[in-house]
Chains A and B, each alone.
Chain A
């Protein structure tokens, strides 16, 4: 089943075409990497999925229904969202950051248990709960970001280059955590990255974007072994050679 679909979606900004006629659909409970150079439109594509960017034309379908922009906040509550640099709220403690989504939904959750459970899942010590984000390292902050995105146990996880600012070792550790999460409880992950190695490690499928257009959309294996265009080949060469 397809949880998320884009049908001939285009987006332009200030007369510039950022996405051009993109049609892709993402497999449920699988991780798909959206990959491309800077300016390829990969981050914009992700933002059309949670309504942060509105398509100029075309249609987005979520959970089998056309995206209802009147209900955008309810839809977003069903999608975890992670960004580069974590975007943790500096005025909230780690525990408050993790459970923030609980404060804006009527769904009843035992916050304390859920926080403990999530922190254990990504190997964060309980003593961090009362700390503020500035007291944590980049990798620790990103783990908190994962907990926050998963608090309401959303079926979809949107990741906008969450590991872009981390050092290689920490990056590997977090990649490992993400793989672990998918094994424990698989969900539909859409991961924006510019790094083919990261895509290879984490994703079941890869969408390659160049200048707002889809170059190739296939299983990770297929994309790596049979690049469809020169742009795809260049990306593979740049990351994996």
Chain B
């Protein structure tokens, strides 16, 4: 038990030292690659890098940065303007000054690519018809346009684009995942894409230049606190204008189609584009990796469970003695339970930052209700005659609790703890979104990469853990509770 507590303390008290930098990342391919480039860049400068990857989405990353839980992460100008500043049509320098004024944050010079919506077509077609810009489409009204449903609906999508450029083609809708195939099989000629999609080099496609600047700009750059060390800002400038759209497409494709790791892709980029040899990549064996993440997962689950038991069981007893308020307290904990896990994690970031501690807090909150409710139910459902007899014999309330009520409530109480443990094993996979690690890291990375193998690498041990806990607790019940009182 003491070891566990020490481990919790160590985990939650690791803060940044000098020469230490914490790099965040959103959970999608390009985010991982860019963050890995930043991390390796700092490592080549002698920094110790804490990689806080897999952070949920824009909100989680941004809150983490604001609350000084990370130092830097890559972000897009369009996202900053629409999702963080909630203003559209800001140019780059307006975005930067608004960030400085409102949040004391700042963005660097763009990396050099714009990951925005784009129209693409097969390369032979673009050569055949002389297509390089969207304007060129006007002269070729017979081209077949097939677009994702989302692009058909968006404000910055087809309707306004067509009006802006006076395009003559009608458009049909199709599932985005099928669009590249449809292009390759010449079922359609033009579709929408993100300009840095790895599919663009893979299918040998041409991006038609947005010559009227219709699409909002999504320039990638580093977002960091204004007060961060000048040396850090200086190191980040090495990436200014260094990543082109085709670089980014190639890196995305390398991860998606050549199954290279983010680290390998980033190393390759730093060597070939910046002539920076980063420190060697450590490749841990899969088994060691799974084991260490399982250990983190167990630490998260059990610390939260343990604290929840310490709080919920005495609280349950206290409420048992005060039946008038027990209903309202149960109602309140039920309310906590209904907060979606991702939302709860996001709510906790401003208070506790990111990492292990807020994850344990969130898991604690989820474990509270089942334990509290079962403690109370267990104590309340004891035959009133037995309570009368216990009183009549001369037991005070603590003796009655110890000798009669707790032993009789134990099967129900254990069932509550078991439920909480199994819920926690599942919920703990989401802790990866706020950088707490655990088996969820495999799952969220696997989701971003669309890699079933990686998802299973997290999901199978998590499922195994849940089953082990289930069996472990039923064994505990068999050992602890007389047979005739065991729950069926």
* A positions within 8 Å CB-CB of B: 50, 52, 72-77, 81, 83, 85, 87, 89-92, 100-101, 103-105, 132, 134, 148, 158
Contacts and interface: CB of A to CB of B under 8 A. Distances in A.
Contacts of A92: 407
Interface in B380-439: 385-386, 388-389, 391-396, 399, 403-404, 407-408
Given A83-B385, A87-B386, A100 B393 contact: yes
B394 A76 contact: yes
Nearest to B393: A101
A102 to B, nearest CB: 11
Contacts of A158: 392
B482 A76 contact: no
B324 interface: no
B403 A100 contact: yes
A104 B399 contact: yes
Contact of B386 (A89, A103, A104, A148): A89
Contacts of B386: 87, 89
Nearest to B408: A91
Nearest to A103: B403
A219 to B, nearest CB: 28
Contacts of A73: 394-396
B322 interface: no
Given A87-B385, A90-B484, A104 B392 contact: no
B385 A85 contact: yes
A74 B394 contact: yes
Contacts of B407: 91-92
B387 to A, nearest CB: 9
Contacts of A103: 399, 403
B482 A132 contact: yes
Nearest to B406: A91
B485 interface: yes
A105 B394 CA distance: 9
Nearest to B384: A87
24 contacts: A52-B391, A73-B394, A75-B394, A76-B391, A76-B392, A81-B393, A83-B385, A83-B388, A83-B389, A85-B385, A87-B385, A87-B388, A87-B389, A89-B389, A89-B408, A91-B407, A91-B408, A103-B399, A103-B403, A104-B393, A104-B399, A105-B394, A134-B484, A148-B393
A201 B93 CA distance: 104
The main secondary structure of chain B at its interface with chain A is helix
Residues of B in contact with A, size category: 10 to 19
A98 B407 CA distance: 17
A191 B227 CA distance: 84
Interface string B356-368: 0000000000000
Contacts of B403: 89, 100, 103-104
A75 B395 CA distance: 11
B402 to A, nearest CB: 9
Contact of A81 (B392, B408, B481): B392
Interface in B268-320: none
B396 A81 contact: no
Contacts of B394: 72-77, 101, 104-105
Interface centre among B394, B395, B408 (most CB of A within 10 A): B394
B385, B393, B407, B482: which has the most chain A beta carbons within 10 Å?
Answer: B393
B485 A90 contact: yes
A132 B404 contact: no
A81 B394 CA distance: 10
Given A83-B385, A104-B399, A134-B484, A89 B404 contact: yes
Contacts of A76: 391-394
The 7 closest A-B pairs by CB, nearest first: A76-B394, A87-B389, A81-B392, A77-B394, A91-B407, A73-B394, A104-B399
Most chain B CB atoms below 10 A, which of A52, A85, A100: A100
A73 B389 CA distance: 12
A87 B388 CA distance: 9
Contact of A90 (B393, B396, B408): B408
Given A83-B385, A100-B403, A91 B392 contact: no
Contacts of A50: 392
Given A52-B391, A101-B393, 17 more contacts: A73-B394, A73-B395, A74-B394, A76-B393, A76-B394, A77-B394, A81-B389, A81-B392, A83-B388, A87-B388, A87-B389, A89-B404, A90-B482, A90-B484, A103-B403, A104-B403, A158-B392
A103 B403 CA distance: 9
